[in-house]
Structures are given as C-alpha cells and as structure tokens.
Structure 1
C-alpha cells in the first residue's frame, strides 16, 4: 500500500485525474457518479462539458503521482490583475510561526494580497514583557512599533518562498482571537470567510487604501 504524508494518495486504478487551468482537481472513471437524479442543473454544475467531475479542490499531482490538495476552489479569490490566489496555503504558512495563532488572507478584487493576523498572545505577551514594552490593553500592544516590526519580520520569513502575487503586501494585527463562540471559526476550526470579511470589513478596507 502506497502512502505519503500530506497527500490523498495515488490515483486509483481505472480512475483518471487531471488539473484544470484554474488548478482544480477533476476526475473521471467508472466508479464516479453519473449525475443528480432528475436535476440537470445541478449535474451541469458538477461536471465539465467533456464529462469530468469538478471536485471543488485546488491541488496538483506530485512527482510520485500522489494527489495533493492545497485549497478549496470556492475559497480562492482573484486579484484585480486577474491572478487567482489560494488563501489557505498562505494562512497555513503563517500559522506555522510561533507568534501567530491564526491568519486570514484577503484581497478579492484588490491589487495585492493582505492578511489579518491573530497573534499567539501566549507567545507575544511574555516577549513584550522581556522587551520592556508597557501597554494597558491588547489593542495598545498590537499597535506598538516593536510588535509591528516583529510581525513584519515573521510574515516575511514565513512567506519568502511564495510567488510575488501571493505574498501579503500589508497586514493588520488583531487584538482579539478567532473562536467558535465569536463566530470566526467552524467546529473544525476552519475560518468562516464571510463572517471574517463582514466583521473586520473596516480593518480589511484600510489595508487597501493607497
């Protein structure tokens, strides 16, 4: 049995898989569904014109023939320059940093990508104390020049291998956490993009002011 960490496994026998121009994983084979019963409109949405199922997943097939999913097509957004961006890939890289608890990449219809950063306050607050940074609230803490500098360096480092289009050009550090209770996260800790976009609209808009 062939397994490879970080992939969905190899293409199974009798199945065909291709990657569309938009990066969507599409499949075809005898075990796949033929369509929705008596619902031609839904069937048309599910299939390409030449009969391939649209999985809704963005990804690629690696050098060993394993399928790698990187994002959901519906979560992708397009910049004003026409480039498609997969936010989850950017967010995953950012969240690997010790000082970042969560992140949301934004930029639909904009000239560039930006990011909302949720700090790991368990890491940031002791760091600030060691640096002698005084503050009366988290709102004040995240606006401190030394904190902004710290996060600029961390973001630059985490995204150094991304393409220029995908690298966040600006960011905002939020003084709050994303939680299920406050509505930003699903029960499986995925970002509710619509909620985040609405709740932090003013912050997001400020990131795209020239």
Structure 2
C-alpha cells in the first residue's frame, strides 16, 4: 500500500475525494498526512473526521519559506510519504520541498494547461471566452503550473455561470485525480 500526503488550503473536497477512494479500496494507498497552511480551513475538520494525521501551520510564524518547508519535509519523512498530492494548496512550492520530493509532487489545476496558470484560472478562462474547459494534473516543478503534464480532461461549456462551471470542473477533476493517482502508484 502506497503512502500519500495531501496538501490543501481550503474546503478540502479533493482531499476528501482522495481519502474516500483509499478507504473504499479504489486506490491501493492510504493518506498518511494532510498539510494545510490555513488553521481555520474546512479541510482540517475533514482530516480529523477521517482520522488522518495533520500538519497545520501559519506561514507567518516562520522566519522564511525555507523554514516552514523544512518542517514540512520532516513531517513527510516521518510519515513515510511516497507521493505528495496538491489539492487546492494555494502556495507555490519552494526549493526545500522540491529538493526533497521533486518528481513525487503532483497538482491538479482547473484549466487545460499551459493556458490560464495561477490562482484564478476559471475566472480568466470565462473572461477570455473559451468554449472548452478542463482540468490538468501535472508534476510540480519550480515554474508556476509549468511541470510536465500527466493527464488532462476537457469538456465543452458555453455559459457564464461560474458556480455551474465550478461544479462541472469538480465533476471532471474528482475521477481524473483518482485515476491518475492510481496509475502513478501502480507504476512506481
């Protein structure tokens, strides 16, 4: 069984999707650590409900990004994490974490990369007027949303209701993330 760590900053629906897939046996894995940079985030409650160990921190309590990333690496190492899955983690991964886990960190992004990188991809795509939306799973490297693409899935949408579009993105990303994690752990 593979050991996963999931990083999140908010509601935690992708975290819950991954944990639930592990619990149901859809993934031959377990989530051994959830890392969150926002102590009040809903994902912290979700982790507790599933009995998943957490490392919740406030970046401003550290002298530097390198300092809190060294702490994260120590927690990942102690948990025996083999694959890190970013699931709405709203921080750019830095040198310390990439140095220790580079090539073993993946991210899910709500656009068809390389288009619409960064935190507001859905809004940017709507403003641009695209007619095909989608999600991308990619390896994390030093470039923002620039790592090697592992998987993508697209769907048409011609409306302008951001809530409806977000629901469609979630409906697309949840199964794609599980499928992709499954393939990665089967081949490693």
The structure with the largest alpha-carbon Rg is 1
TM-score (normalised: structure 1) = 0.25
Q: Quick check: which one's helix share is greater?
A: 2
TM-score (normalised: structure 2) = 0.27
Larger RCO, structure (CA 8 Å, separation 6 or more): 2
